[in-house]
Amino acid sequence: MTNTKTFTPLTPAVLYILIALSGGEKHGYGIMKQVESDSEGKVSMGNGTLYGSLKRMLDAGLVAEGNKKVDPEMDDQRRVYYKITGMGKKALAAELERYERVVALTKRHAVIMQMVGYGA
């Protein structure tokens, strides 16, 4: 018998990468631009952080490497594309569900909302 935990809360970098890839496979630069756009410029991911996170996600089976190909919207260089896996979709769904529960809980507790000054 083993003791373990369900999906641990995802780091912001992992969460944003999964969201970026949920719209389709992307190369490194494409992921960066998508994260920047999704977060309305609030999250800017460096190259080291992006590929460090991708490595952990590849190891965990959350994303997979696709074939190298040319991005028609860019130059003729062949780029490595990354795509979300079934496990990645599951982890993303679980995390979003967790966020929804927290928001629902907060809304139910008007006292907490007053304490944090939400909606004041």
Partner 1 sequence: MARNDDAKKYKNIYANLLGLYPASYRRRFAEPMQQTFSDLCHERVQAGEGLFGFAMGTYAGTFIEIIKEHIKGVVMSSKATKMKIFAAVAGVSVLVVAAVFIVIGNRPSIAQSISPYSSLEQARELSKGQKEPCLMDTQQAHDAVKKDDVMFEFGDEKMSRLELEASGAIMDVPAGTDFRLTTHSYKDGVVKGAMAYEYGYGIYNYTIKKLPKAGEWKLVSIIACERS
Residue 79 interacting with partner 1 (CB under 8 A): yes
CB 80 within 8 A of CB 68: yes
By beta-carbon proximity to partner 1, the closer residue of 97 and 118 is 97
Residue type, 112: I
By beta-carbon proximity to partner 1, the closer residue of 108 and 114 is 108
DSSP sequence for 66-119: EEEEE-TTS-S-EEEEEEE-HHHHHHHHHHHHHHHHHHHHHHH-HHHHHHHTTT
User: Three-class SS of residue 86?
Assistant: helix
Choose one: 15-23, 34-42, 43-51, 107-115; the region binding partner 1 (CB under 8 A).
43-51
- Of 40, 41, 42, 59, the residue at the interface with partner 1 (CB under 8 A) is 59
- Of 90, 107, 108, 109, the residue at the interface with partner 1 (CB under 8 A) is 90
- Of 40, 41, 42, 48, the residue at the interface with partner 1 (CB under 8 A) is 48
